[in-house]
């Protein structure tokens, strides 16, 4: 377990609230396999770089000089970068305008005048940047949520795990980890400096690196399964059903479907191979056959649609029979023999005439018919569009 005292020694200028978030959420880090010394040190060193020593969890774009802006954001114009110091002058002490300039129109952000560049600036303890990356972590609709301490740490753990950084930490591949997190070598020297400090502070691991066993893998932990479910939903594997952190029949079906499409071993389990594939996968593509599927084909594939169809048929039959019965009841009621047979039923049903009861049944049956027809139609459309697998 990483302690408050250790973190204060490692990062003396860290904000107490961010230290508390790390300590409070460390069980999630352990669930992600961050338990051996190499993994702990590498993970915390990278967090330290991204958060400026655990002092902030949102990108600081309030630069006081044009030269500093140029040093950070220089590069080709096509990458929304600056070609000269003079171009940076209008953005000094204007963080929002700078964010829109350098991040707008890329990373899934819409270009100006949209404020996406600012709304989806670096956030969290891994400095998630851009609308696409916020969406991958579930913060597309509420980007500010990523900039709260506990969520910032939990998301950092999830991103570390999704990118397969544990294996790289075991190999001592600091540059490889940096590339996974930052996309290049930015901040690599700072990470190495923090690693030297971490080696002096973190000298004993809380527990040995986990050795997964069947049914007892770190990948069955709730936070990890939720991550897989969210990613599957995002990619279009909607047979996963929802996000509940449990590997049930629906989740296993979605995992198998993804593994089949990705050419992986067909086993309904979560492992690092699956996570690496999920991280780089493109959205699921629909076949022409599916987009033009007939109602008969969909009924054969989707149980709910088939159930709606049969319920619709039964409801229609009931409505017709009841309506005919309501019409004939008035006629039969005037026949002496028929009236004798109907009378006991009427007494049982109080003073309500038989035709009324049959009319009510017909109305209910008609309503059920309409509901089931709508359900069947909606199910067919969802199957064709890929919303329902």
pLDDT of residue 4: 94
> For 68-72, 275-279, 281-285, which range has the lowest pLDDT when averaged over its residues?
275-279
Whether 269 and 193 share a structural domain: no
Residue 275 lies inside a defined structural domain of this protein: yes
| DSSP state for residue 185 in the 8-state scheme | S
Domain that holds residue 225: 218-280
- Give me 337's structure tokens: 């023999």
Residue 111 lies inside a defined structural domain of this protein: yes
Whether 22 and 53 share a structural domain: yes
3-state secondary structure of 324: helix
Q: What is the mean pLDDT of residues 282-306?
A: 65
> For 52-66, 284-298, 330-344, which range has the lowest pLDDT when averaged over its residues?
330-344
Q: CA 146: distance to chain centroid? A: 14
Rounded to whole angstroms, the Cα distance separating 356 from 359 reads: 5
Residue 265 burial by Cβ neighbours in a 10 Å radius (0-12, 13-18, 19+): exposed
Whether 52 and 146 share a structural domain: yes
Domain boundary residue among 228, 251, 280? 280
Residue 155 lies inside a defined structural domain of this protein: yes
pLDDT of residue 311: 66
- Give me 24's structure tokens: 């409070």
Q: What is the mean pLDDT of residues 329-348?
A: 53
Whether 347 and 272 share a structural domain: no
* Cβ-based neighbours of 313, under 8 Å, separated by 6 or more: none
- C-alpha angle with apex 138: 136 to 142, nearest 5 degrees? 125
Nearest to 182 by CA among 61, 45, 56: 45
Q: Which residue has the tokens 């600012």?
A: 118
Rounded to whole angstroms, the Cα distance separating 88 from 73 reads: 9
Whether 52 and 148 share a structural domain: yes
- C-alpha angle with apex 101: 97 to 102, nearest 5 degrees? 120
Whether 47 and 151 share a structural domain: yes
> 113 preceded by cis ω (within 30°)?
yes
Whether 27 and 173 share a structural domain: yes
Whether 51 and 148 share a structural domain: yes
- Give me 242's structure tokens: 């929802």
187: left (phi over 0), alpha (psi -120 to 50) or beta: left
State the pLDDT confidence band at 280, using cuts at 50, 70 and 90.
confident
Percentage of the chain exceeding pLDDT 70:
69
Write the pLDDT tens digit of every residue in 190-203. 999 999 999 999 98
Q: What is the pTM of this model?
A: 0.58
State the pLDDT confidence band at 285, using cuts at 50, 70 and 90.
confident
Whether 41 and 75 share a structural domain: no
- Give me 25's structure tokens: 């959420």
Residue 132 lies inside a defined structural domain of this protein: no
Is the confidence at residue 303, as pLDDT, over 70? no
The tally of domains found in the chain comes to 4
Q: What is the mean pLDDT of residues 258-282?
A: 82
> Is the separation of the CB atoms in 209 and 38 below 8 Å?
no
Residue 39 lies inside a defined structural domain of this protein: yes
State the pLDDT confidence band at 323, using cuts at 50, 70 and 90.
low
Is the confidence at residue 13, as pLDDT, over 90? yes
Residue 209 lies inside a defined structural domain of this protein: no
Nearest to 58 by CA among 113, 12, 121: 121
Whether 357 and 378 share a structural domain: yes
Is the confidence at residue 214, as pLDDT, over 50? no
Is the confidence at residue 47, as pLDDT, over 80? yes
Handedness of CA 19, 21, 27, 33 (dihedral sign): negative
State the pLDDT confidence band at 207, using cuts at 50, 70 and 90.
very low
Whether 177 and 259 share a structural domain: no
Residue 134 lies inside a defined structural domain of this protein: no
> For 35-39, 319-323, 329-333, which range has the lowest pLDDT when averaged over its residues?
329-333
Write the pLDDT tens digit of every residue in 108-136. 999 999 999 999 999 999 999 999 989 88
Burial 27-36 (b: 16+ CB within 10 A, else e): ebbbbbbbbb
The residue ranking higher by pLDDT, 98 or 322, is 98
pLDDT of residue 168: 93
Tell me the CATH number at 160.
1.10.530.10
| 152 phi, psi to nearest 5 deg | -60, -40
Nearest to 227 by CA among 289, 171, 158: 158
- Give me 119's structure tokens: 């709304």
Q: What is the mean pLDDT of residues 234-257?
A: 86
State the pLDDT confidence band at 319, using cuts at 50, 70 and 90.
low
Whether 78 and 47 share a structural domain: no
Residue 309 lies inside a defined structural domain of this protein: yes
List the helix and strand counts (H, then E) for the chain: 20, 0
Rounded to whole angstroms, the Cα distance separating 268 from 121 reads: 36
């Amino acid at each position: 377990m990483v302690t408050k005292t250790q973190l204060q020694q490692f990062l003396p200028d860290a904000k107490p609230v961010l230290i508390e978030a790390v300590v409070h959420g460390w069980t999630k880090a352990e669930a992600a396999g961050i338990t051996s010394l190499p993994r702990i040190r590498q993970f915390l060193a990278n967090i330290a770089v991204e958060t400026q020593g655990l002092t902030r969890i949102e990108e600081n774009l309030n630069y006081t000089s044009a030269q500093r802006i140029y040093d950070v954001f220089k590069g080709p114009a096509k990458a929304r970068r600056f070609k000269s110091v003079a171009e940076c002058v209008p953005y000094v002490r204007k963080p929002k305008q700078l964010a829109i300039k350098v991040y707008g129109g890329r990373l899934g952000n819409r270009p100006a005048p949209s404020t996406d560049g600012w709304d989806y600036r670096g956030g969290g303890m891994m400095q998630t940047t851009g609308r696409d990356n916020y969406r991958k972590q579930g913060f597309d609709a509420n980007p500010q949520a990523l900039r709260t301490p506990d969520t910032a740490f939990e998301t950092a753990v999830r991103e570390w795990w999704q990118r397969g950084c544990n294996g790289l930490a075991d190999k001592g591949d600091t540059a490889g980890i940096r590339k996974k997190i930052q996309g290049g070598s930015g901040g690599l020297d700072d990470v190495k400096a923090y690693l030297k400090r971490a080696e002096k502070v973190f000298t004993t691991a809380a527990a040995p690196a986990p050795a997964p066993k069947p049914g007892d893998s770190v990948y069955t932990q709730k936070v990890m399964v939720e991550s897989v479910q969210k990613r599957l939903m995002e990619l279009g594997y909607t047979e996963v059903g929802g996000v509940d952190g449990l590997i049930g029949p629906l989740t296993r079906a979605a995992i198998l479907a993804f593994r089949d499409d990705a050419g992986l071993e067909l086993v309904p389990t979560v492992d690092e191979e699956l996570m690496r594939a999920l991280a780089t996968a493109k959205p699921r593509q629909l076949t022409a056959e599916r987009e033009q599927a007939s109602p008969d084909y969909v009924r054969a594939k989707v149980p709910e649609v088939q159930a709606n169809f049969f319920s619709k048929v039964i409801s229609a039959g009931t409505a017709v029979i009841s309506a005919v019965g309501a019409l004939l009841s008035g006629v039969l009621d005037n026949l002496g023999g028929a009236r004798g047979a109907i009378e006991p039923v009427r007494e049982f049903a109080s003073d309500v005439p038989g035709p009324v009861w049959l009319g009510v049944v017909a109305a209910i049956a008609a309503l059920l018919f309409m509901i089931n027809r709508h359900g069947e139609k909606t199910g067919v459309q969802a199957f064709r569009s890929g919303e329902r697998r």
